[in-house]
Amino acid sequence: MNQEATLEVATLAGGCFWCIEAVFRKVNGVENVVSGYTGGTTANPTYKEVCTGKTGHAEAVQVSFNPSKISYRKILELFFSIHDPTTLDRQVADTGTQYRSAIFYHNEQQKAVAEKLIGELDKAHLWGKPIVTQIVPLDTFYPAEDYHQEYFSRHPEQAYCQIVIAPKLKKLNLI
């Protein structure tokens, strides 16, 4: 009997969604990644609106994954390895609340896994500063405009892709 695996979804914000999406698209067990916006107050926000910082949204990704191939904890461990979870509302040169580090949990189990992992990582002092990643319930996720989807794979020659995204992929042996 051929049964399709039930996918789970993780919603994560850690700076520019192009970076996070590019990494997760290359991970075994991840079936789909969608860049978008969540955590704000404006319905159906546009990129231009989110960039103002006035909508309250974070640039985020929704990662659909097969839990028989990769666990939610492994998804989070990877997430923490590709951004700085100790900087409030900032990732490298990107600043503003739209670039905050956040885990938008879908259920209480995801919340518990995130809290436990952050506690372990803080105790290990890996970054030398406390983790400021928010753990908040997911409300509504709005997919970003089409031109933001699969940005790295469609524009690998673009300067941002070469300077910021490609090194992250190389660090993880994904390219």
3-state DSSP of 13-66: EECCHHHHHHHHCCCCCEEEEEEEEECCCCCCCCHHHHHCCCCCCEEEEEEEEC
Kindly tell me if the per-residue pLDDT of 24 is higher than 70: yes
Residue 12 backbone dihedrals phi, psi, to 5 degrees: -135, 145
What is the tens place of the pLDDT at every residue in 136-156? 999 999 999 999 999 999 999
| pLDDT reported for residue 49 | 97
Of the residues 16, 19, 51, 161, only one is catalytic, namely 16
DSSP for 99-165, please give it: G-EEEEESSHHHHHHHHHHHHHHHHHTSSSS----EEEE---EEEPPGGGTTHHHH-TTSHHIIIII
CA distance 155 to 161: 7
Mean pLDDT of all residues in the chain? 93
* DSSP three-state, residue 98: helix
Residues 6+ apart with CB under 8 A from 1: none
CA distance 129 to 79: 17
Kind and range of the H or E run holding 11: strand 8-14
Q: Which CATH number fits domain 8-171: 3.20.20.70, 3.30.1060.10, 3.50.50.60, 3.40.630.30?
A: 3.30.1060.10
CA distance 129 to 124: 10
Entry pTM: 0.93
What is the tens place of the pLDDT at every residue in 55-113? 999 999 999 999 999 999 999 999 999 999 999 888 877 888 999 999 999 999 999 99
| pLDDT reported for residue 4 | 59
Q: Residue 130's Cα: distance from chain center in Å? A: 19
Instruction: Look up 51 and say whether it is catalytic.
Output: no
Kindly tell me if the per-residue pLDDT of 2 is higher than 70: no
Q: How confident is the model at residue 171 (pLDDT cuts 50, 70, 90)?
A: confident
Give mean pLDDT, residues 4-29: 93
Q: Which two tokens stand for residue 120?
A: 């372990």
Residue 62 backbone dihedrals phi, psi, to 5 degrees: -110, 120
